[in-house]
Structure 1
């Protein structure tokens, strides 16, 4: 019988994570520069940026694996104090680093049992939690398998199971899909969706921006240690993603381009392919105006075989704003 992981007790509305002027220096190198981050409770927050931007440093600070040089961190309104244990606050955190430990001579069940004991889970509660997280990551059939026999994708899902064995309210994932094949990435995305459905706040860093675009409700962009963007994904698309329309004709491409000039206030031809009769345009109008454009082309008897809208991707947005260092 499938068991369902329960929602964490610490989930609530409002901000799950907030930082103020968070700064981290290593000798003469400043990895993070006065980061003011806000993540809503229940969000799936994607953290992106080039190598060396400060993503891992930020996640380690939130996981209390590093202490900040300056600044403050709040979980659900409670301030993290790096000078004392704060065990209750730490229990709200699940952390999966890029190089998470796997004791490969153990089997799957014993590995999870070991970490469940470290979190103080007792007897029936411990067994129930292990069953639940194995169901969550679809590894129940591998509970007796030695870890060294698992595929890389299974090991990643096992690491995720270990990170949520104590039902945290905040989950921090540092490059969790690195090196995974498309099938393993798809399986991992589904697990994140399941966790999101439970109300767990997820922060995930990744260079696979297509995965983040599919998963995330909000995005943060780090560059040179600065947080240059922190917004809901929908807001980013509305503000920064341009709409393109690809139009194909079986007739003369020049006739199509002539008709498009009537919409010159809303249309800019970006690319023309005479060999296929296609043009790609930047279109600044709304959906009703796009419908008017299509209607006009049909009424002008342009023999269309293609007309579809495309939105610029998260990767396009990143390249627009991700290489600018704040002044």
Structure 2
């Protein structure tokens, strides 16, 4: 169960937020809470309502019902010149780019739209160029940039007015692994600076690297919302991988006697002629880090030649499927 916090302690809080298009309910009575400084990942299948929720939070759509609070203040989406919009940086999946502009012209244009004046405007444009690693491309035409560079330029545009909240809709979609890593590093820098980020993505491995909390949407409902560590504890498992050349049988016996070790399987094994068997074992591990250290000491004391000993939690994709299976049953 999600703990209810006072809205003035949260960067984003919604109450029964709903958006209906004709007969289709895209977002249904969503109660979302995101603490200040959190990086919150929003996941779910296509059509789950993620983009509509982000557009509601950005003031791009009017809610059919419900409330939005930003840093404890009611966000009236239909109010022109709402000062709370200055809090927001919103990067849509189809954000506009003007190919004939240079990078610095593009950022300066949006900085002027946010009423940044010189010399602050020039300084801020330089700051975001450095953040997204596009300083050397400042005078390049946007048409000449790679897809990853264009995505980073879009992020710079959302940051130029120094927002407190960043809303990112599928920002790494279609990017190659190197570009995704660069984007992930930038989000990590923003997190260290204390910015609140809400990011939707289908790439769960990226979210697991940068997010502190996860929300899962299905058919317009927010069906799960919790810190990533809580989801790991509740829905995930920890797996122990151990290798011992020439002592697979002895290793198996020691692990089966350990109270924190659950199901056990042989991942690989080999035998040199008629000699002892070598291999790697994988076991579900229910103990703490201290228990793992004690188990390793016990194996060494038992003269097991351990060459590998590591504990690995389930990845976010496994947890997502576990939750899906839990709800289906």
User: What TM-score, normalized to structure 1?
Assistant: 0.89
SS in 2 for 1:295: helix
Aligned partner of 2:113 among 111, 118, 130: 118
1:10-60 alpha-carbon deviations (Å, 9 max, x no partner) = xx9820000111122222222222111100111111111222221111111
CA distance in 1, matches of 2:83, 2:106: 23
Aligned partner of 1:223 among 208, 218, 222: 218
CA distance in 2, matches of 1:326, 1:203: 27
Q: Provide the residue aligned with 1:176 in structure 2.
A: 171
1:225-272 alpha-carbon deviations (Å, 9 max, x no partner) = 221222222232233331111122223533332332222563221454
Q: How many residues align?
A: 316
Q: Provide the residue aligned with 1:149 in structure 2.
A: 144
- What is the CA-CA distance between 1:96 and the residue it aligns to? 0.3
1:204-225 alpha-carbon deviations (Å, 9 max, x no partner) = 1112222212211222111222
Q: Provide the residue aligned with 1:315 in structure 2.
A: 317
* 1:254 maps onto 2:249 in alignment: yes
- What is the CA-CA distance between 1:172 and the residue it aligns to? 0.3
Bigger relative contact order, structure 1 or 2, given CA contacts below 8 A and separation 6+?
1
* 1:293 maps onto 2:288 in alignment: no
CA distance in 1, matches of 2:326, 2:158: 34
1:173-213 alpha-carbon deviations (Å, 9 max, x no partner) = 00111111222122212222222233221111112222212
Contact 2:37 2:197 in 1 (8 A): yes
SS in 1 for 2:307: strand
SS in 2 for 1:32: strand
Q: How does 1:31-50 map to 2 (within 5 A)?
A: 31-50=26-45
SS in 2 for 1:91: helix
Q: Provide the residue aligned with 1:263 in structure 2.
A: 258
Q: Provide the residue aligned with 1:159 in structure 2.
A: 154
Q: Mind listing any 5+ residue stretches in structure 2 that lack a counterpart? A: 1-6, 271-277
Aligned partner of 1:196 among 188, 191, 196: 191
